[in-house]
Amino acid sequence: MPCLSILATLQKQLQNEATNGWPLSCIPRVFRADTTKVEDDQNGDSEPTGSQKHTFPSINVPENINPGPKTLFPGIYFSLFADQDVESVPSTSNVASTIIRDSIVDTVNLLDYNRNVAARFLIELDCYWAPGTFVKRSTAFDKLKDIPEGKSTWKPEDMVVDAVFSQIMQLPKPECKLVYYHSLITEACKLAPAAIAPSLGRAIRFLFRNIQIMDLELVYRYMDWFAHHLSNFDFRWKWTEW
């Protein structure tokens, strides 16, 4: 379970991205600015397609900032699947791990009033990023090693499960009530069981293997979630495995 500062991780990611010329390959390009002339296939005419640039005003950060009711604590990048031999989620050296994680977390916490809509957005995560960012939904983890080199092996389901658990395990307390995250996972499982269930099973086993090094509060959260989750699915589990 990586225990990395979010700011320190982001700084390294941005430095790597700057070194490579800011590809930000996970972000979809609705259009690409091009200052060359493009020939029309039908009549042979050409026209410039360069986009207009705008100057943004400078931002002055006040010396004293009111943090609001939320207590400021150093952020920790909590991940269940990061830095595996086969990357099912972006590595912590890739800025995509922060960008995609933030978008998932914002979606989850801003839509806390409607778990059904939030779960639908999460299931369709791969639709909102550049083509090729993720493998096909429901791709088995064992099949990732067969993907040709240079192709993405990131599973959208793993990204979703990873991000939701980062909120369940947030200390000292999560953004929303824990029962919301519980019900969100349940709803996602009902919408796409073939996709979410295998990722969720691997997350459960990972946490169970590392339970002896977890904070006691997180152990109780894990137990409460697991009991709540199983109660919604007739307590079906491979009990003989344990």
* β partners of residue 182: none
Please enumerate in sequence order all residues whose Cβ is within 8 A of that of 93, keeping only pairs 6 or more positions apart, or say none: 12, 13, 16
Range of weakest confidence among 53-62, 196-205, 226-235: 53-62
Q: How confident is the model at residue 130 (pLDDT cuts 50, 70, 90)?
A: very high
CA distances from 232 to 183, 187, 208, 229 (A): 9, 10, 20, 5
Average pLDDT estimate for 11-21 = 90
Q: How confident is the model at residue 69 (pLDDT cuts 50, 70, 90)?
A: low
Please state, in angstroms and rounded to a whole number, the distance separating the CA atoms of residues 161 and 88. 11
pLDDT of residue 8: 85
Please state, in angstroms and rounded to a whole number, the distance separating the CA atoms of residues 17 and 93. 10
pLDDT above 50: residue 189: yes
Domain ranges in the chain are 4-9+74-241
Residue type present at position 236: R
Q: How confident is the model at residue 73 (pLDDT cuts 50, 70, 90)?
A: low
Range of weakest confidence among 68-77, 81-90, 121-130, 169-178: 68-77
Average pLDDT of the chain is 85
Average pLDDT estimate for 15-42 = 70
Tokens standing for 27? 């972000």
The class level of CATH for 4-9+74-241 reads mainly alpha
Per-residue pLDDT of 38-50, as tens digits, reads: 444 444 444 445 6
Q: How confident is the model at residue 225 (pLDDT cuts 50, 70, 90)?
A: very high
Average pLDDT estimate for 180-207 = 93
Q: Are 195 and 137 a contacting pair, CB within 8 Å?
A: yes
pLDDT above 70: residue 238: yes
pLDDT of residue 169: 93
Q: Are 168 and 221 a contacting pair, CB within 8 Å?
A: yes
Please state, in angstroms and rounded to a whole number, the distance separating the CA atoms of residues 176 and 239. 31
Tokens standing for 171? 């200390």
Average pLDDT estimate for 140-160 = 92
Q: Are 163 and 108 a contacting pair, CB within 8 Å?
A: yes
Per-residue three-class SS string for the chain: CCCEEHHHHHHHHHHHHHHCCCCCCCCCCCCCCEEEEEECCCCCCEEEECCCCCCCCCCCCCCCCCCCCCCCCCCEECCCCCCCCCCCCCCCCCCHHHHHHHHHHHHHHHCCCCHHHHHHHHHCHHHHCCCCCCCCCCCCHHHHHHCCCCCCCCCHHHHHHHHHHHHHCCCCCCCCCHHHHHHHHHHHHHHCHHHHHHHHHHHHHHHHHCHHHCCHHHHHHHHHHHHHHHHCCCCCCCHHHC
pLDDT of residue 39: 42
pLDDT above 90: residue 172: no
pLDDT of residue 239: 74
Alpha-carbon 89 to chain mean position? 8
Q: How confident is the model at residue 117 (pLDDT cuts 50, 70, 90)?
A: very high
